[in-house]
Each structure stands twice: as C-alpha cells, then as structure tokens.
Structure 1
Amino acid sequence: MATNVKADELQARMEARDKHIRESWIQAMEARVVHQALQKCQRIEGVNSYENCKEFSERYIVMLRENKVKGYKEIDLS
C-alpha cells in the first residue's frame, strides 16, 4: 500500500513537471511567432517600420523578458 502511494505521488510530480515544461515551451514558441511577424512587418514597411510595427516590437520585447524556457526545479543560490 505504501509503495502505491509513493507511485501516485511520483506520477503526480511527473505530470506537474511535464505540464510546466510544456507551458514554458508554448510561451517560447509564441515569442518566436511574434518575432516572425515583426520581421515580416519590417520587410513590408521598410523605412516606416519604426512607426507601423511598434506594437509587434513592444510585445516581442516583453515576451523576451517573460517567456524564457525554464526548468522545473529552481535552485536558490543566495
């Protein structure tokens, strides 16, 4: 009975880890899509891209800060 409880805990931990990693990769891929849209906008707009692609660039900068692929464990070194 005790091994079954440990197996259930291990299964739950593995599922939580997989979900965390999957969400992290989804956010990273969203940033990639925004980057590709920004590049396309810059190619199309040319000189006017600073004004017309501002929304993409601001969104991409925020995503670069927030949407990094992170591991499941976080170690505090302080």
Structure 2
Amino acid sequence: MSTETLKQREEHIRESWVKAMEARIVRDELQKCYKYEGVNNIETCHDLAQKYISMIRDNKVKGYKIIDEE
C-alpha cells in the first residue's frame, strides 16, 4: 500500500472516531439533563434527545474499505 492510501485511511478512521466521541458527549449531557430535570425531562431535554438520535444514526464508526452488501 502506498503512503498516501495509509494516510487517507488513518484520517477517515480518526474522523469516524471523533464523531463517535461527540455522540458520547451528547449522550452524557442527555443523561445529566434527565437526572436534573426529573419529571420535566421530556419537555426540557427533547432537543438534546433528538440531536443524540440523529448522531447515533450518522456517526457510527466505519471501516475504510467499502463492501457491497447484496
């Protein structure tokens, strides 16, 4: 493998992990919100919960190689 390919692979994996860690931070903030808001957590934490849901859909750790699934 060429050096350029290895650099691209490392960059792709690094970006994927950063996005996954961002989702983890949002999850931790959501847990704090649920804990502190108590009964009102559904109304107060709704935006944070929606953000977390979208992040776990999009920010999965993916490998570099793409395999066709048929």
TM-based fold match above 0.5: yes
TM-score by length of 1: 0.87
| Length, aligned pairs only | 70
Structure 2 residue 43 is the aligned partner of structure 1 residue 51: yes
**Deviations 1:12-63 (CA, angstroms, capped at 9, x unpaired):** 0000000000000000000000000000000000010000001110000000
Runs of 4+ in structure 1 over 3 Å off: none
Structure (1 or 2) with the larger CA radius of gyration: 1
% identity of equivalent residues: 51
- Which runs of no fewer than 5 residues in structure 2 stay unpaired? none
The counterpart of 2:9, out of the listed 17, 21, 36, is 17
Q: Which has the higher contact order (CA 8 A, sep 6+)?
A: 2
Structure 2 residue 31 is the aligned partner of structure 1 residue 39: yes
